[in-house]
């Protein structure tokens, strides 16, 4: 099937959702409708792409066969898929396919799949382990969970969105993997901030220190993406501290259910929670360095 035959709606057109929509449009897919609780954001993107700026969720479902959701949290996800509500993506959902890309609790993905099936629709989790630039370029690392036949039906869209695509397993499993990815990333970020912060306190040259880290067991992907930003205090947001707190919290909930203690994850979440308390929650996760470098506002 040609890309232009896919009618796609996008719900949640913040930085990630909007850039997914832009990329799919550039790749020849028919992005027919966009929706956001911030209606002006949806109108601007709709004008750019030649799509409908839906005023209701049901309007997205009516105008598209494949609906991508990129919402903020569990509560938002439950709201857009609410049963017996005046407005919901489930209204008129028969034969539609939902690709849900937000980082939310695994059990909510399971709930959504059940609700979709009840309305003769399909649901797939498409968990993203990448950021805004990759969304725009179609080079996401994408982990999917749900029924294999649903994954196969959505494959052309998923291939366009990603440079690395992996089918993980049944509903909820991709979200479990994503939670662990972000938990470890957050720990690595906080650890790097402490290493560089202590290096600054000792008067070490931070360029030299990062070069040494890169050649030793202190190396990490986070060093490449966040090290210089921590040093220069360049915390332009690609993945916010607030999101880091939320995602570490999802992993900690999974650990509680499994009876596993995760002291490093708990300590890391506490750091991101402190950023939120200090009004720094919308900084990039690299902003955790504001808590560790001497002489900075969050340092105590």
Q: What is the pLDDT of residues 156-196, one digit of tens each?
A: 999 999 999 999 999 999 999 999 999 999 999 999 999 99
Residue 194 and residue 292 in contact, taking contact as beta carbons nearer than 8 Å: yes
The reply to whether 230 and 273 lie within a common domain is yes
Percent of the chain with pLDDT over 70: 99
The reply to whether 230 and 135 lie within a common domain is no
The reply to whether 148 and 241 lie within a common domain is no
264 lies in some domain: yes
Please calculate the CA angle 113-119-120 and round it to the nearest 5 degrees: 85
The reply to whether 254 and 134 lie within a common domain is no
Residue from 81, 82, 32, 35 nearest 54 by CA: 35
CA distance 150 to 45: 28
The reply to whether 118 and 202 lie within a common domain is no
pLDDT digit string, tens, across residues 1-30: 899 999 999 999 999 999 999 999 999 999
The reply to whether 213 and 283 lie within a common domain is yes
Percent of the chain with pLDDT over 90: 95
Mean pLDDT of 85-95: 97
199 lies in some domain: yes
Residue 120 pLDDT > 90: yes
58 lies in some domain: yes
Q: What is the CATH number of the domain that holds 106?
A: 3.40.50.720
Structural domain of 241:
178-291
The confidence band for 131, taking pLDDT boundaries of 50, 70 and 90, is confident
Q: What is the pTM of this model?
A: 0.90
The dihedral region occupied by 92, where left means phi > 0, alpha psi between -120 and 50, and beta the remainder, is: left
The reply to whether 149 and 185 lie within a common domain is no
Specify the number of domains making up the chain.
2
The reply to whether 163 and 241 lie within a common domain is no
Q: What is the pLDDT of residue 299?
A: 54
The reply to whether 196 and 141 lie within a common domain is no
**What is the strand order of the sheet 122-128 is part of?**
52-53, 30-35, 7-11, 66-69, 97-100, 122-128, 140-146, 162-169
Q: What is the β-pairing status of strands 97-100 and 162-169?
A: unpaired
The dihedral region occupied by 91, where left means phi > 0, alpha psi between -120 and 50, and beta the remainder, is: beta
Which residue is listed with tokens 């993905």?
Answer: 109
The reply to whether 163 and 210 lie within a common domain is no
């Amino acid at each position: 099937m040609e890309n232009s035959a896919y009618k796609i709606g996008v719900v949640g057109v913040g930085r990630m959702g909007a850039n997914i929509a832009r990329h799919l449009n550039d790749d020849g897919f028919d992005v027919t409708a966009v929706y956001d609780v911030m209606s002006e954001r949806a109108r601007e993107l709709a004008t750019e792409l030649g799509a409908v700026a839906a005023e209701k969720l049901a309007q997205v479902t009516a105008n598209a066969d494949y609906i991508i959701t990129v919402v903020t949290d569990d509560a938002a996800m439950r709201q857009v898929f609410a049963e017996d509500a005046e407005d919901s993506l489930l209204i008129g959902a028969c034969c539609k396919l939902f690709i849900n890309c937000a980082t939310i609790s695994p059990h909510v993905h399971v709930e959504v799949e059940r609700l979709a099936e009840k309305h003769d629709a399909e649901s797939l989790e498409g968990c993203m382990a990448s950021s805004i630039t990759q969304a725009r370029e179609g080079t996401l690392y994408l982990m999917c969970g749900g029924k294999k036949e649903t994954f196969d039906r959505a494959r052309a869209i998923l291939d366009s969105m990603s440079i690395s695509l992996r089918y993980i397993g049944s509903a909820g499993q991709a979200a479990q993997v994503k939670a662990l990815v972000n938990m470890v990333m957050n720990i690595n970020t906080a650890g790097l901030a402490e290493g560089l912060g202590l290096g600054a306190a000792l008067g070490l040259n931070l360029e030299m220190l990062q070069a040494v880290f890169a050649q030793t067991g202190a190396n990490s992907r986070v060093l490449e993406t966040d090290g210089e930003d921590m040093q220069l205090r360049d915390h332009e947001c690609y993945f916010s501290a607030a999101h880091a707190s939320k995602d570490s919290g999802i992993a900690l909930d999974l650990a509680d259910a499994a009876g596993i203690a995760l002291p490093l994850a708990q300590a890391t979440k506490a750091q991101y929670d402190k950023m939120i308390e200090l009004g720094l929650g919308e900084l990039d996760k690299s902003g955790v360095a504001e808590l560790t470098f001497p002489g900075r506002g969050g340092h105590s």
